[in-house]
Amino acid sequence: MSVLIYTDSADGTLTKNAFEAANYGALLAKKEGKSATAIVIGEASDIDKLGAYGVTKVLHVNDAALNNFDPQRNAAIIAQAVTKENATTIIFPHDYSGKATAPMLVAKLDAGLVTGAVALPEGNTVRKAVFSGKAFADVEIKTAIKIISVLPNAVDKQIGEGSVAVENFSCEIPTTRLTVKEVKKASTELSLTEADIVVSAGRGLKGPENWGMIEELAQELGAATACSRPVADIGWRPHHEHVGQTGIAIRPNLYIAVGISGAIQHLAGVNGSKTIVVINTDPEAPFFKAADYGIVGDAFEVVPKMIAAVKKLKG
Ligand SMILES: Cc1cc2nc3c(=O)[nH]c(=O)nc-3n(C[C@H](O)[C@H](O)[C@H](O)COP(=O)(O)OP(=O)(O)OC[C@H]3O[C@@H](n4cnc5c(N)ncnc54)[C@H](O)[C@@H]3O)c2cc1C
In a domain, 183, yes or no: no
Residue 176 lies in a domain: no
Residues 69 and 150 in one domain: yes
Atom of ligand 1 nearest to the CA of 285: 49
Is 296 inside a domain boundary?
yes
| Ligand 1 center to 264 CA (angstroms) | 9
Please name the residue whose Cα sits nearest to atom 51 of ligand 1: 265
Cβ < 6 Å from ligand 1: which residues?
Answer: 202-204, 228-231, 244-247, 259-261, 263, 265-266, 269, 279-282, 285, 298-300
Q: Tell me: do 7 and 151 sit in the same domain.
A: yes
What is the pLDDT at residue 56?
97
The pLDDT assigned to 91 comes to: 98
Please check whether residue 192 is in contact with residue 270, taking contact to mean a CB–CB distance below 8 angstroms: no
* 247 and 136 both lie in a single domain: no
Note whether 105 and 60 are same-domain residues. yes
CATH number where 202 lies: 3.40.50.1220
Quick one: pLDDT at residue 228? Answer: 98
- List average pLDDT for each run of 10 residues in the chain, which is 315 residues long: 94 93 97 97 96 97 92 96 97 95 97 97 95 90 97 88 95 89 74 92 98 97 97 96 94 97 96 96 98 98 98 93
Regarding whether 106 and 41 lie in a shared domain, the answer is yes
Q: How far is the CA of 130 from the centre of ligand 1 (A)?
A: 23
For the entire predicted model, the pTM comes to 0.84
Residues 60 and 153 in one domain: yes
Structural domain count, the chain? 2
Residue 53 lies in a domain: yes
Return d(Cα 49, Cα 70) in angstroms, integer. 24
Question: Is the domain of 205 the same as that of 139?
Answer: no
> Which ligand 1 atom is the nearest neighbour of the CA of 228?
11
pLDDT at residue 188 in the model: 62
Condensed to tens digits (0 to 9), the pLDDT of residues 187-210 reads: 667 788 889 999 999 999 999 999
Q: Are residues 210 and 261 in the same domain?
A: yes
Indicate whether 51 belongs to any domain: yes
Of 126, 148, 168, the domain-final residue: 168
Are 17 and 124 in the same domain? yes
What was the pLDDT predicted at 220? 97
User: Ligand 1 center to residue 202 CA distance, Å?
Assistant: 6
Answer yes or no: is 225 within a domain.
yes
pLDDT of residue 179: 83
pLDDT at residue 157, as a whole number: 86
Residue nearest to ligand 1 atom 11, measured at CA: 228
Residue 244 CA, closest ligand 1 atom number: 8
Give 302-310's long-range contacts (Cβ < 8 A, gap of 24+): 302/258, 303/213, 303/214, 303/217, 303/258, 303/279, 304/213, 306/217, 307/213, 307/216, 307/217, 307/220, 310/217, 310/220, 310/221
What's residue 187's pLDDT? 66
pLDDT at 83: 97
Claim to verify: residue 262 and residue 302 sit in the same structural domain: yes
Structure confidence by residue, pLDDT tens digits, 17-63? 999 999 999 999 999 999 999 999 999 999 999 999 999 999 999 99
| Domain coverage including residue 115 | 2-168
User: How far does the centroid of ligand 1 lie from the alpha carbon of residue 201, in Å?
Assistant: 9
Q: Are residues 26 and 153 in the same domain?
A: yes
Structural domain includes residue 113: yes
Residue 181 domain-assigned (yes or no): no
Contacts of 285-289 with CB under 8 Å at 24 or more apart are: 285/261, 286/261, 286/262, 287/257, 287/260, 287/261, 287/262, 288/262, 289/262
CATH of the domain at 104: 3.40.50.620
In this structure, the answer to whether residues 203 and 135 fall within a common structural domain is no
CA 177 to chain centre: 28
